[in-house]
Homo-oligomer: A and B are copies of this chain.
Amino acid sequence: MNPRVEAIAGSLIREVAALKRPTSIDLGLGEPTLQPNRRHLDAAMAYALEYGLRYTPNAGETELRAAIASHYGYPGMDRTENVCVTVGSQEAMYVAIKALLDAERDELLVVEPAFPSYVKMAALEGVAVRRVEMRQDEDFAFDAERIVAAVGERTRAVVICSPCNPTARVLSRAAASHLASALRARAGDPVWLIHDEIYREQTYVADAGYLAAEYPWTIVTNSLSKSNALTGLRLGWVLGPAEFVAQAVKVHAWATSCADTFAQRVALHVFQTPGALSEHAAWYEGRRADVLGDLRESGLRFIAPEGAFYACVRLPEGVGSTDAAYALVERFDVVAIPGIAFGEGMEGWLRLSWVGTPESVRTGILRIAEYARQSTPFGRS
């Protein structure tokens, strides 16, 4: 067997999620609980019944590629040749890392806290990883200065997820612009930015920054998974300069051939229906307001979500996040993801997802607060 594959450890997130009991309050979920809009599925079904489900071109249906490119309209990446349709944003990121980085030469810089898949993909490819942690005393705000300072001699790409899973922080326009100008000012080959925009339609602040709007060597990954409650559809895309996309399509072609034709028709219907990409946005706005109320009431230290559907809460000093996650399931029947799953810098925190029912989320948060009270040195006495 390939030792690089054998060396990849299991996922702590899945390990904790597997503890869930039928009675558990699940704040561990990484996917929407809404039902998808059936009109998009109906359109794909009508297509399939009329035309069957044949291969599309490797890079995806031309009409869909064009619709995606023009929807975002990023400078220099607003045409068909700037898009490759992929198997969810997971394959979009995989293809980006694989097309960009040479394991013998290059290094990937991961802005943490971060979802673990970037590091796992790099490990699978044998690509060295450098990490730069946002500071918990700044509530993990994106710090452009700090990111630029971490770019090393061998760093050829930086991956940033904003809105962020797990911190729910959003890169500001000022930070995006600062990052772009600092990287432009560097000598030598350009450093690529990979912006994981998967939570883009769950953005609750006005000044969100988009790296592709600021910097030409940006690659954007996204999908319908979170915006339209279609995680299981596996339909994503990677956007970038045409010379990058030409290489990305090769990786995609030989790894998976093309994305599912049914899924591509769903996506085409979404992109051709005005407002459809953000049809769930109002629901998330409302749920965010609820959860902010719950968090304030709880007395926990928390980071107010600027995006995504998570909220991070601080554990009492000295309480390990994995221990806390296990204790919460055993003693309080609540599933929450330990911060350590997202990088060393998030040890001592929990990531809560608030896509469940308002009652269950509120109850879960209050139980975590109770656990925290019992676990503080004072509470324990």
A80 to chain B, nearest CB (A): 16
Copy number in the complex reads 2
**1/0 per residue A227-251: CB within 8 Å of B?**
0011111100000000110010011
A35 contacts B52, C-beta separation under 8 Å: yes
B residues near A263, Cβ cutoff 8 Å: 260, 262
Choice from B38, B234, B257 contacting A260 with Cβ under 8 Å:
B234
A263 to chain B, nearest CB (A): 6
B54 contacts A49, C-beta separation under 8 Å: no
A2 contacts B45, C-beta separation under 8 Å: no
B98 contacts A233, C-beta separation under 8 Å: no
A5 to chain B, nearest CB (A): 5
Q: How far is the CA of A56 from the CA of B4 in the complex (A)?
A: 25
B residues near A250, Cβ cutoff 8 Å: 5, 8, 124
B5 contacts A98, C-beta separation under 8 Å: yes
Choice from B31, B45, B56, B247 contacting A232 with Cβ under 8 Å:
B56
Kindly report which residue of chain B lies nearest to residue A234, judged by CB atoms: B260
| Number of residues of chain A lying within 8 A (CB) of chain B | 58
Residue A12 at the B interface, CB < 8 A? no
B55 contacts A232, C-beta separation under 8 Å: yes
B residues near A258, Cβ cutoff 8 Å: 232, 234
B52 contacts A247, C-beta separation under 8 Å: no
Q: How far is the CA of A260 from the CA of B223 in the complex (A)?
A: 13
A90 to chain B, nearest CB (A): 4
Q: How far is the CA of A318 from the CA of B256 in the complex (A)?
A: 37
B5 contacts A251, C-beta separation under 8 Å: yes
Choice from B53, B56, B117, B230 contacting A230 with Cβ under 8 Å:
B53
Residue A321 at the B interface, CB < 8 A? no
Q: How far is the CA of A293 from the CA of B250 in the complex (A)?
A: 39
A63 to chain B, nearest CB (A): 15
Residue A151 at the B interface, CB < 8 A? no
Kindly report which residue of chain B lies nearest to residue A91, judged by CB atoms: B256
What are 20 contact pairs spanning A and B, CB under 8 A? A1-B100, A1-B102, A2-B98, A2-B100, A5-B99, A5-B247, A34-B52, A36-B53, A55-B231, A55-B232, A87-B256, A87-B257, A90-B257, A91-B256, A121-B254, A121-B255, A233-B260, A234-B256, A260-B260, A262-B262
Closest 5 CB pairs of A and B: A232-B261, A53-B232, A90-B257, A87-B256, A234-B260
